[in-house]
Structure formats: C-alpha cells, structure tokens
Amino acid sequence: DQQVKQNSPSLSVQEGRISILNCDYTNSMFDYFLWYKKYPAEGPTFLISISSIKDKNEDGRFTVFLNKSAKHLSLHIVPSQPGDSAVYFCAASEMGPGNQFYFGTGTSLTVIP
Amino acid sequence: NAGVTQTPKFQVLKTGQSMTLQCAQDMNHEYMSWYRQDPGMGLRLIHYSVGAGITDQGEVPNGYNVSRSTTEDFPLRLLSAAPSQTSVYFCASRGGKETQYFGPGTRLLVL
C-alpha cells in the first residue's frame, strides 16, 4: 500500500504565478520529508526538506509546508519559471541513516511562458 | 567529484538473459540503494545497503541480487531478465546527512 501519495499527476501554471504541489502520507512515524525534482533522462535531484519539528522551511523561491495532524505537506514555488517544468517527487522517512525513503508517484509541473 | 555514476545508460535484454547494472559513488557514503521507476508507480526501493558487506531488501526485491564489497560500489544483478523488469533504474547514496543523491539512471528494456 502506498505510504506516500501525490494525487495530482500533473499541474499547469502560468509563468510568474504560484505553483502548489501536494503530498499526503499515512505513516505517523515519518519525521523527515523531502522534495525531489526530476528532468527527463536525468536522475532526481534534491530540492528541499523539512523535519517534523518544523512546519515550514524556505529556500529562495521554494517553500515546503508540513501539517502533521493532517499528514500533509505541500511545496510552493513562487514565482514559477519555465525552468521549473519537471516531475516533482515527495519522499518521507523516519530520521536515521539506515531508514528507507518512501516516494510518491510524482507530479508533472508545466510552467507556461 | 563525480557523485553517483551508473553504467550502462541504456540496455536491451532478451527474456532469460542476465546482466549487472553498475553503480559507484565517490562521496564515501555508507548508505546506497537501488530504485526502479515505472509510470504511475513513483520510485520503488529494490535493495539497499547500510555499509560494505551489509545489504537488505526493499519493497520490490524479487528477481534482483545485490552485493556490497566496497563502500564505493553497489552493483545490481538481474539473474534471469523478465519483461516485467523493463524500467528505469536509479542508484542513490547518502552519508551522515539525510539528503539522498541519485545517479543519472539506467533505462532497461527486456524483450
């Protein structure tokens, strides 16, 4: 059973507007969450992370929000740029070097110039 | 510093053939893992290793073998390829920090 879910397979946004990508998880033991970005024919690259002791983490145009009670996290991209067009995966794990990452199915973001 | 490297980039196999997907990292990371990516399925963990000599199964280990004789290398072996193993395979590594670094992937087609 999928422990990390991304229910929107795709999203289109106008350049300059906000992109909001959503992710839900079922395992209450998860305490570390990440977003990865993937371009075609490349491996995923790390974008931003958040631990469960925070509810928000910001890095430039990218902000991740965590709602532990709802088991929900979201990635906000403001402003969106055409170069942001990619597939975005969220991932979750229990903190610790030996613990597995569980990935969502990905959301394909298209930023329209 | 090359990060995580994978070879080959693309491979075509016939059903029943065997092959090894190579993965190497030069970051001295203890933790390495193999994922497969299939449409609508995201990234699923096949096998992982927490250090040289130690490996364990992930979500979808059947049909695959791994070994970890050195910190740098973590090859994935397909003993008898099946069409269901057609996929894109990613190797990843991470050290003391939680961020995981991925290789560029190997695209495998099994006919």
pLDDT digits (tens, 9 = 90+) for B27-41: 999 999 999 999 888
Residue B102 has pLDDT above 70, yes or no: yes
Name which of B6, B21, B33, B43 to mutate to probe chain A: the one with the most chain A Cβ atoms within 10 A of its Cβ. B43
Inter-chain touch B42–A44, beta carbons under 8 Å? no
Question: How far is the C-alpha of B36 from the C-alpha of B86, rounded, in Å?
Answer: 9
Rounded CA-CA distance B36/B85 in Å is 9
Instruction: Give the integer Cα–Cα distance in Å for B45 and B32.
Output: 11
Strand A10-14 and strand A107-112: the pairing is: parallel
Is residue B2 scored above 70 in pLDDT?
yes
Q: Do A98 and B50 touch (CB under 8 A)?
A: yes
Average pLDDT, chain B: 93
User: What is the distance between the alpha carbons of residues B2 and A104, in angstroms, rounded to a whole number?
Assistant: 27
pLDDT at residue number A54 = 93
Asked if B48 lies within 8 A of A89 by C-beta distance, the reply is no
* Residue A83 pLDDT: 96
The full 3-state SS of chain B, as one line of letters, equals: CCCEEEECCEEEECCCCCEEEEEEECCCCCEEEEEEEECCCEEEEEEEEEECCEEEECCCCCCEEECCCCCCECCEEECCCCHHHCEEEEEEEECCCCCCEECCCEEEEEC
Q: Looking at residue B41, what is its pLDDT?
A: 84
pLDDT band at B98 (very low <50, low <70, confident <90, very high): low
Cross-chain CB nearest to B98 (options A4, A32, A41)? A32
Q: A86 vs chain B: nearest CA distance in angstroms?
A: 14
> Which of B42, B36, B28, B41 lies closest to B93 in space, CA to CA?
B28
A45 beta partners: A37
Residue B44 clears pLDDT 90, i.e. is over it? yes
User: Quick one: pLDDT at residue A26?
Assistant: 95
CA distance B63 to chain A (A): 20
Per-residue pLDDT at B95: 75
pLDDT tens digits for range B11-30: 999 999 999 999 999 999 99
pLDDT one digit per residue (tens) for chain A, 113 residues: 789 999 999 999 999 999 999 999 999 999 999 999 999 989 999 999 999 999 999 999 999 999 999 999 999 999 999 999 999 999 998 876 667 889 999 999 999 99
**Alpha carbons B38 and B89: distance in angstroms, whole number:** 9
Model pLDDT, residue A75: 98
pLDDT value of residue A97:
62
Q: Tell me the percentage of chain B whose pLDDT exceeds 90.
A: 85
Q: How far is A59 from chain B (nearest CA, A)?
A: 15
Are the beta carbons of B43 and A38 closer than 8 angstroms?
Answer: no
Give the DSSP letter of residue B79: S
